[in-house]
């Protein structure tokens, strides 16, 4: 019997939505499974930074992939605006990574030199230049300035991706996937709480919940890591900015300052704690006295993190038709759009546009 879908995508966050959209645009019949609820998803708690030059070091495989993903967002944002009328809030006006002491300043200077050698735009700002640009910051030891970095609004991104996916014929169903079934060396279907979904290809993009899917041919090393966030008022008369430091960051979003974040192995518990809130506000207060006003709101999300901090991208080598797009950790928003393209290329049998060898699905469990 012919399967009603060509592909079933498990997970309707930014990664799953991007995969579904790309696959539908290639002419496939796609079913997208959304587990439902609005608690715990990493994208709901994300600041939306596009910061591969800020958060990755010289030996990190994510640098090249992250830069490509960041550059992918301008054409994607334009395409989504044209097709859906939705603006994802993309702005790429640079991010400053602040040096907290002389040792840290030396490390950041070395990073600037390395990034320039790789052809990236990167500058060193001395303490006086930092103070002149952002007079509301406390004194610093200088900053790495990456002018192509930026941010977008995660909720707007997800809404736009889902809207465009459905425009392209993607079926969106609210059902929690519980298992994958396969026979011989091929997948057969996804088992949900409400129904079974047959397809010759299945894409697993369930974020922190990916490892809970039964029937996988190997354990999936993805754990939930809680990230707590707070919103404060953005300083009056201050231009919008994104300021990053080793222990905190602050992102201008409208009239708010989105500040974070924690990294806590707390299981599937997305609550906000007093300890987390105080840790964030204390770090932000040491960054600037401009953020001493009341907290406007707090929230948290569960990031899907792997043991080496890298995503799991590619084909399951033991079972044909099973594809992984999960474990993006702190970089889910950054990598989502490009991940959709890479998954589509893999299913098309094309060489992926980026080197995915560091993200192989079998790197943790091989037999």
Q: Which residues of 189-210 are buried (b: 16+ CB within 10 A; e: fewer)?
A: bbbbeeeebbbbbbbbbbbbbb
Instruction: Give residue 270's Cα distance to chain centre.
Output: 17
- pLDDT confidence of residue 292: 87
| Both structure tokens of 203 | 């894409």
Do 120 and 52 contact (CB within 8 A), yes or no?
no
359 and 310 Cβ atoms separated by less than 8 Å: yes
- What number of residues does the chain have? 367
How far is the C-alpha of 22 from the C-alpha of 97, rounded, in Å? Answer: 34
pLDDT recorded at residue 130: 98
Mean pLDDT by 10 residues, the chain (367 residues): 86 97 98 84 91 87 96 98 98 96 96 95 98 96 98 97 98 97 96 97 97 95 95 93 94 95 93 95 93 93 96 97 97 97 98 96 81
Per-residue pLDDT, 8: 98
* pLDDT attached to residue 237: 87
Cβ-based burial of 57 (10 A; exposed 0-12, middle 13-18, buried ≥19): exposed
Q: Which of 342, 218, 302 is nearest to 45 (CA)?
A: 302
């Amino acid at each position: 019997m012919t399967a009603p879908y060509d592909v079933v995508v498990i997970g309707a966050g930014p990664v799953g939505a991007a995969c579904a959209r790309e696959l539908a645009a290639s002419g496939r019949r796609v079913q997208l499974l959304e587990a439902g609820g609005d608690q715990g998803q990493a994208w709901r708690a994300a600041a939306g930074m596009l910061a591969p030059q800020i958060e990755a070091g010289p030996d990190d495989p994510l640098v090249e992939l992250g830069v490509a993903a960041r550059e992918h967002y301008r054409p994607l944002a334009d395409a989504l605006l044209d097709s859906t009328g939705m603006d994802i809030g993309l702005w790429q006006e640079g991010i400053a990574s602040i040096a907290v002491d002389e040792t840290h300043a030396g490390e950041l200077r070395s990073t600037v030199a390395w990034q320039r050698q790789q052809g990236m735009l990167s500058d060193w700002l001395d303490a006086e230049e930092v103070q002149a640009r952002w007079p509301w910051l406390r004194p610093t030891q200088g900053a790495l300035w990456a002018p192509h970095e930026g941010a977008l609004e995660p909720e707007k991104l997800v809404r736009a991706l889902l809207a465009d996916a459905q425009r392209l014929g993607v079926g969106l169903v609210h059902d929690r996937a519980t298992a994958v079934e396969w026979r011989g060396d091929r997948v057969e279907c996804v088992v949900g709480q409400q129904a079974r979904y047959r397809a010759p290809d299945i894409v697993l993009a369930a974020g922190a919940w990916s490892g809970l899917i039964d029937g996988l041919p190997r354990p999936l090393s993805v754990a939930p890591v809680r990230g707590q966030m707070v919103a404060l008022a953005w300083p009056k008369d201050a231009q919008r900015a994104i300021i990053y430091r080793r222990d905190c960051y602050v992102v201008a979003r409208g009239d708010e300052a989105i500040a974070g974040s924690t990294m806590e192995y707390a299981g599937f518990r997305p609550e906000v704690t007093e300890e987390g809130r105080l840790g964030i506000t204390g770090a932000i207060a040491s960054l600037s006295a401009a953020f001493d006003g009341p907290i406007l709101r707090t929230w948290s999300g569960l990031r899907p993190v792997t043991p080496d901090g890298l995503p799991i991208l590619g084909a399951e080598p033991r079972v044909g038709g099973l594809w992984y797009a999960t474990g993006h950790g702190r970089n889910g928003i950054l990598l989502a759009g490009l991940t959709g393209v890479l998954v589509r290329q893999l299913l098309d049998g094309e060489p992926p546009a980026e080197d995915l060898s560091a993200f192989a699905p079998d790197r943790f469990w091989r037999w």
